[in-house]
Chains A and B, each alone.
Chain A
Amino acid sequence: MTAGGAAWEQHSVVRVVPPVKPRKLAKVPFVELADGRLQGVVSSGSDISRVYVSSITAGTHGLNCSTNNNRPCGGLRGAACKHLQALVDEAVLQYGLDRVARYLRVEVADGDDLMSCLRGSRETAPAAVVFSRFLRHLAYLELPGTTAPIPELHWFPAMGEVR
């Protein structure tokens, strides 16, 4: 798409958001790089109506994990808990290692595990904000569809992804 006479900047249709890779959503239904954090929601292994809200701050690598009712995660003491580990693993699947590492501002050598490169400690983060972003994310699935044409979507063609 970048070939041809005019510069990339002068195209109406270019890919700006890198493609997201498909992954299993059962354990970690929600991951995002937003608000200066890698943040997401991890389903509890023991209680289907409980979820953990986990986040890692870009730059400082401050770690946070608590339930959606704001109880601190018992597994997070000094080292990261299994929820944070799952969050990082799924984020790497979804966005690719490079993009996650760049966002968190961490150097990951070839073959290294991203989690082991983080040097942050426990830090408070707004779990309620992350959880409400997750609920907002889920709310999209409840919006009714439409058969009225949306011509604006011509700016957003499906561009395929890594198969």
Chain B
Amino acid sequence: MLGVQVAELLVESPPGVDEALDLVTGFDDALEGGFGRLGEQRAAALAAFAAAMGATPLGPALAEAAEKVAAGSTAGEHLSALAGGRAALLGSVHDAELGRLDTALGRTRDSWQEPTPTTEAEADRATNLLAGCRSWLHELAITGWRGVDHDLVSAADQTLEALLAEPTLRRLAVLLDGLVAELRASCPVATMERLPVRRWADLWTRAMLLAQPADDRSGGGETVSGRLLILGVEVHEHGTAVQMQVHGVLEPAGGGDARLVRTSVAAAKVDTIVGPAVWRLLNDHPVLLKALAEHRSLEVTDVPLLGSGDLVWHDDQADAGDPADPFATARIRLAGALAPAVPPLDRHPVRICEPVLVEGYTTDGGTFDLDGDTLAVDTGRLPACGPLTPELVAASTACIGLIRWDAGRWTLQPLAVQATVKRTAVEAHNGDWAQGVTDPKAVKAEARTGDAVAVLRERAGRLLRK
């Protein structure tokens, strides 16, 4: 990524983005106090939100929803419409900002192909579970964040447990589990000094959308074979879930354009499994872990590539190949690779995560300075399961990272760095410890706390099936 490209991002927002975000802020403010007792000001904000969407297909439904909510006769369909409206508004912000980023980077993006709908009816079980989720989400919206207490949080427990047991609803389960944990830790919310209102409204909105009965959301796709060159891995984690999302360039077998893809492996966990121990939960994917730890390319055979650019990982259909330096991949293959389309439901600024290579900068650790243009570095996002530290970032000379956008600001999330420490060139990648910790200091720290996964598995084996 060059200074001029950074400069293009730093000019003011695309037209309409600030206005859209103001409307979202009004919505979020209403949700903080609860749709059950809006008051004049918040009702007006909700009406403005609906009016701004008046010309869209959602217009009539939103107008009715805003009116009914203000009148105190809220039904489920009104809340669904409001969630849809908020998602559409932030979807437009996502499109505008991603478009700006693509232009700055000169990146070509595939267009979205709507998959043919599957005719398979959802099982009754799933239908009932979704209804259970929606009714809890409704109560949450009527009550508002300020009114959330232990009883309301605990009311989600049963639904959540059933949801987690249903593999087809994992996305919703993982999302709700994360939200519930945050609410539980914040109880009683009324006494909190400040609330993460944008975040919680985001999570509520997405949960509402995922809790609607729908066809398969995986986004169709095709079957591909080829060589996957890893750029880096990003770690997603909350108390009870961890996901490793690998970014890479796929060279399709038999030629064709190189594609920018992601592949993800996720596992359920508990909050006391932290740091490098999380890798042990992913031992079912030894080929992927080996490629990450040893910086190797991967040969994949007949694996599904979804329309979203997600390669669905099948460890038994992959072989670790020759050593492949991610920095070389970033220098040579990244610029020409075709970026994937974004599925309609996923369009939210939080999902903007474009891999880039940045080099030739000066840094104090907080920003990368490229010929006078500065890019903020998000050192808060260095996972504890890898070797990257703020110190390494501050000593770095080249960085593979993800460009992200939040609250009107662009940041770079490092995935790997080349640095000079004590006049020696070093390299660190998020996935370096995928097969076990390699840094003596971290090995010691791990030995002090023992093997959390093994202890809990032993306890589970002894106590769960009695």
Contacts and interface: CB of A to CB of B under 8 A. Distances in A.
- Asked if A and B are interacting partners, one says yes
B264 interface: yes
Contacts, number: 233
Interface stretch (B71-79, B98-106, B231-239): B231-239
B266 A12 contact: no
A3 B174 CA distance: 29
A145 to B, nearest CB: 4
B199 A155 contact: yes
A26 B237 CA distance: 23
Q: Which of B161, B350, B413 has the most CB of A within 10 A?
A: B350
A159 B235 CA distance: 9
Given A12-B407, A24-B450, A161-B274, A150 B237 contact: no
A138 B161 CA distance: 12
Contacts of B202: 12, 155
Contacts of B182: 16-17
Contacts of A24: 448-450
Nearest to B266: A146
Given A9-B194, A11-B199, A161 B265 contact: no
A94 B272 contact: yes
A152 B409 contact: no
A49 B268 contact: no
Given A25-B452, A141-B460, A147-B265, A152 B407 contact: no
A149 B455 contact: no
A23 B449 contact: yes
Contacts of B181: 17
Nearest to B161: A136
A9 B272 contact: no
A151 B150 contact: no
B429 interface: no
A103 B266 CA distance: 32
B455 A148 contact: no
Interface in A19-58: 19-26, 29, 33-36, 43, 48-49, 51
Interface stretch (B44-52, B327-335, B355-363, B380-388): B380-388
A103 B185 CA distance: 10
Nearest to A14: B196
Contacts of B271: 20
Contact of B408 (A5, A159, A161): A5
Interface in A41-90: 43, 48-49, 51, 68
Contacts of A144: 167
B37 interface: no
A14 B195 CA distance: 10
Contacts of B195: 9
Contacts of B449: 22-25
B338 interface: no
A51 B463 contact: yes
B418 to A, nearest CB: 20
A150 B243 contact: yes
Contact of B199 (A13, A18, A151): A13
B68 interface: no
A109 interface: no
A147 B197 CA distance: 31
Contacts of B459: 29, 43, 138
Q: Which of A136, A151, A161 has the most CB of B within 10 A?
A: A151
A141 B21 CA distance: 40
B194 A156 contact: no
A10 B376 contact: no
B406 A12 contact: yes
B235 A145 contact: no
A148 B218 contact: yes
Contacts of A21: 274
A81 to B, nearest CB: 20
Given A9-B196, A155-B202, A148 B312 contact: yes
A160 B351 contact: no
Nearest to A15: B380
Contacts of A143: 164-165, 267-268
A8 B161 CA distance: 32
Given A34-B184, A149-B264, A22 B174 contact: no
B169 to A, nearest CB: 11
Interface string B269-296: 1111011010001101100000000000
Q: Which of A9, A18, A135 has the most CB of B within 10 A?
A: A9
Contacts of B448: 24
B403 to A, nearest CB: 13
B270 A137 contact: yes
26 contacts: A10-B407, A12-B199, A12-B407, A16-B196, A17-B238, A24-B450, A29-B459, A48-B462, A136-B161, A138-B464, A141-B456, A143-B164, A143-B268, A145-B265, A146-B167, A146-B267, A147-B313, A150-B266, A151-B346, A152-B203, A154-B353, A158-B242, A158-B381, A159-B381, A160-B380, A160-B384
Given A17-B238, A155-B199, 19 more contacts: A10-B197, A16-B186, A17-B182, A22-B452, A34-B184, A94-B272, A137-B270, A138-B464, A140-B240, A142-B464, A143-B165, A146-B170, A147-B264, A150-B241, A154-B236, A157-B235, A157-B383, A158-B235, A158-B383
Nearest 6 Cβ contacts at the A-B interface: A158-B383, A153-B236, A6-B407, A158-B235, A143-B268, A138-B460
